[in-house]
Amino acid sequence: MKNMNREFTVFAALAIAFAAPDCASATDCGAAKCAPSFDDYPVVEHSRLFPSVTLVLQTKLAKKYRTVITQQSRQDPDFAGHYRVATWGCGTDCHGFAIINKRNGKVYTVPDLEYVAGVMGNGEDRLAYRVESRLFIVTGRKNDEDEGKFYYLWNGSSLKLIFKSEIAKESFED
């Protein structure tokens, strides 16, 4: 009987191990299969109709790019239901951004992410986001320091890093 219980316990443990997802947590793997997806963080409601509001530019970066932010604030929401991501160029394959709340006009910037630059051999979009999701993906070099694919979750006033992976690079050697 003891032998049978031990065999059952071993069998159950193996069954659980093999039935578990490919990665136990976001920090256990760098593979894209473990990365969050837009569908994982849906927005409950979103609308395209918003009255024009006065922008609230609170940060130095938002004030510096107020013209492009103002121009892009007139467009429909494109992120997390009622937000608009305003983007601007900062050089070859370099992008800066701010997030505009279309309901109240508040403009948010990310303190540790002033811009993202491309990485040689990687052709992915530097910024990826959707109107029906709270997930915001940054691919490249953040402020010319940290390189990777960064997955952020929008909480209504800031982006929180939830996952990071390496980025795919195309080899140029023959």
Question: Can you give the residue ranges of every domain in the chain?
Answer: 33-165
pLDDT at 66: 97
Judge contact between 116 and 138, C-beta under 8 A.
yes
Give the model's confidence band at 118: pLDDT under 50 very low, under 70 low, under 90 confident, else very high: confident
Look up the pTM and report it: 0.77
pLDDT(75) > 80? yes
Judge contact between 169 and 120, C-beta under 8 A.
yes
**Model confidence pLDDT, tens digit, residues 60-69:** 999 999 999 9
Alpha-carbon gap, residue 74 to 78, rounded angstroms:
12
Give the model's confidence band at 123: pLDDT under 50 very low, under 70 low, under 90 confident, else very high: confident
Q: Looking at per-residue confidence, does 85 or 33 come out higher? A: 85
Give the model's confidence band at 32: pLDDT under 50 very low, under 70 low, under 90 confident, else very high: low
Average pLDDT over residues 24-44: 73
- Sign of the torsion angle spanned by Cα atoms 164, 92, 134, 114: positive
pLDDT at 22: 42
Q: Under 8 Å CB-to-CB from 171, ≥6 apart: which residues?
A: 121
Average pLDDT over residues 29-57: 81
DSSP readout, 121-160?
T--S-SEEE-TTB-EEEEEEEETTTEEEEEEEEE-SS-EE
Average pLDDT over residues 104-116: 94
